[in-house]
Structure 1
Amino acid sequence: MYQDFFELNEKAFGNTPDPKFLFPSRQHQEALARLEYVIEEKGMAMITGDIGTGKTTLSRALIDSMDERYKPILLLNPRFAPAQFLRMLAQKMDLTPKKLKSDLIDQIQDRLFSYYENNTIPVVIMDEAQLIPGKSFFDEIRLLTNFQLDHTNLISVILIGQPELAKRLQHHAYAALNQRITIRFHLRPLDEQDILEYLQFRWKVAGGSAERFPFNETSINKIYAYSGGVPRLINLLATTCLIDALSKGVAEISAAMVDQQADDIGLLPNPANIGKQHGRHGRSAQAR
């Protein structure tokens, strides 16, 4: 597709959570540093953010950063019963789950002690945690944090979800779990000054050259206006614009092309974002 036309090694603006494409903005670096601290201390963390702000990509970058001491246990889309959660956790720990819950819990606890004796730190990462169906499920998560020795915990737990996760856990019914969360971080959309660097970063990672970078000042301004700085929307707009540029045989993406693609997708510009970047992004900036 457009990769050959723009001399890229791969897609620059895909929406898969490839950790090498995690843009090192200040907030993403801070979030990653906090998560690395939590798993080192075998604590509990909660990362929230609106749809498309890079939560899942951040979790993959965390897994990529782990050395052989850690055993990441990634659980996606947790819309299942508490008993299913424990069984899945046991399977992720390379166990054959027992049928009775009491036996299953003992089985998991024994495995955690075995990990400790072998200097292994299990890290449970639960993505889309706002989908957890009920309090009883959260109670099982809290149970995991009860597995500890006098001087250390035996497991790290990271909850990742949309903002309603944090609101939900503020309810007094979840106080016991909420109090165990030592690190909290909320991912926000990118700032306006980050947009050019974000596009350039992903372009470079995909093997693109500065000379073939197709976005100019006005098209970047439009991308920010339509996306609001949400990385997933930036990627969507950038991809459709590159495809449009390929079909037209042009090397530069204009503001009009962004307008057309945004209209096709159904995105409306935020008036507060229009024109904020005027004067920030010239063609000379693209070669830096």
Structure 2
Amino acid sequence: MRRTNLTAATDSESWVGLGLELRHATGPGLRPEVADGNRIVLSQGPDAVLLARIDDDRGGVEYSRTDYYRSPVAPLRATEVRALAGGGRPYWYARWAHRFADALEASPLGPLHEGRWVLAREGVTRTGDGPVGPWRSLLLDDHPDGCIDWSTGSRGIMPLRQLRPPDGGRVKAYRKQAREGILPPVLLWWFSGLHCYVILDGHARLVAAVAEDREPAVLVLSRARSEEQTRTGRDKALSDHHLTMSILDGPHPVADREGAARSASHLLATQLHRLEVDYAPTRAWPTQRT
């Protein structure tokens, strides 16, 4: 698997994500399957871990989880967590991204398949009601059954297994790490078929962070645009930039030409960056189940 460190659009020293490219055809262990245009099954090996049905009016989806989900990431040892200390800093996210990429590449239980992916530093939009307010409002923890209302436009966060209680043994250990500022990131996967994130690894870590009223650190795995899509978008962004600069350099005076040129360059950098990190649709397969 080829890896590329991705930096911020306007700061080449700030790490924001890890580009992954799988050249060889691989069948993912965790894969969405579809049937009849409105039924979705999330399968992991021979097991169905989630069953969903899209509403006829396409306004939302009802789902049910089965408790068969298994994380593609082995349990994290306390010694490893402390060795990778540096919570919240870009290099800390980068270390954990490579650690998760190693696990996803080696595991037969994860969603990776041939193509381009991004494992990026992300955060839930703040709503002003505290560091974990958005997590409490977006967490789809109505286990095992629930529904997502797409008309609200919100991107929920779905556990793939029942969450542990805040006073459980493993959660208590993670709560201590949260207080120390070394709690590892939660690993999410963008699942466009449900228009939500699902938790690949870190169910207990998420509970621990929320219990300690701390915003969880997050890394999000998503499919990336294809090379052709990226190239087309890059060519258009560059063409638009060249057109803007030709106008600024033309015979007619432009107020604050230097400021306008800086803005145009910033826009170009942002557009090129988004081409690298924006989510692409999740791939699905025909269902093998009746």
**TM class, shorter-length:** under 0.3
TM superposition score normalised by structure 1: 0.25
Greater RCO, 1 or 2 (C-alpha within 8 Å, sep 6+): 1
In terms of fraction of residues, the more strand-rich structure is: 2
Which entry has the higher C-alpha Rg, 1 or 2? 1
In terms of fraction of residues, the more helix-rich structure is: 1
